[in-house]
Amino acid sequence: MKAEVINPFIESARNVIQQVVQVSPSTGNLGVKEIGYLENHIWILIGMTGQMNGEIVFGIQEEVALRLVSVMMGGYVLTEMNEMGQSAISELGNMISGNASTILAGQGVSVDITPPKVVKADSASDLIQKKALSIPLHMDGIGELDIQVMIS
């Protein structure tokens, strides 16, 4: 898998987070990571079909997701990842993936994305144990979001 496939998702995530959360995220080191169960984490899974097939997985600690959702909702504080919080965090993943597919289209790569699926740690058996290209985004005052791309 080529490292370049993750670049549209990094660019998109930085732009969307800047617009929605008013924080300029910085990137950590690119690496290969096995996606799997982590306590107190949630994952946003989005499928990709077309000229690139695979999955994009956004991994995030639940407390970071709650902070992100609170900022997205204008400061409304959530204490648990309820249905409203899951809807907001899945929409963030959808926005990032949709923008990345637009970037890919501009590069001549046609892809479609599936609706996001939120997986919480208690149902992490839904996660497919695979290796993925992974890069963390650090958001000052909020926490870290991992972008993981698996292309087959």
Residue that has been written with the tokens 């990571």 in this structure:
33
Q: What is the mean pLDDT of residues 80-95?
A: 93
pLDDT for 27 equals 94
Distance of CA 53 to the CA centre of its chain: 17
Residue 19 in this model has a pLDDT that exceeds 90: yes
pLDDT at 151: 83
Ranked by mean pLDDT, which of 14-18, 40-44, 122-126 comes out on top?
14-18
pLDDT tops 80 at residue 5:
yes
Please calculate the CA angle 102-106-108 and round it to the nearest 5 degrees.
115
Residue with tokens 């998702």: 9
The pLDDT value recorded for residue 122 is 65
Grade residue 125 by pLDDT with cuts at 50, 70 and 90: low
Q: Give burial (CB, 10 Å; 0-12/13-18/19+) of 6.
A: buried
| Whether pLDDT at 9 is above 60 | yes
Domains (range + CATH), the chain: 3-151 (3.40.1550.10)
The whole-model pTM stands at 0.90
Looking at the chain, the whole-number percentage of residues with pLDDT higher than 70 is: 91
Does residue 126 carry a pLDDT above 70?
no
Q: Judge whether 96 and 13 are in contact, CB under 8 Å.
A: yes
DSSP per residue, 113-148: EPPPEEEEGGGGGGS---EEEEEEEEETTTEEEEEE
H or E segment at 120? Answer: strand 117-120
Q: Return the pLDDT at 61.
A: 92
Region 2-22: what's the mean pLDDT? 90
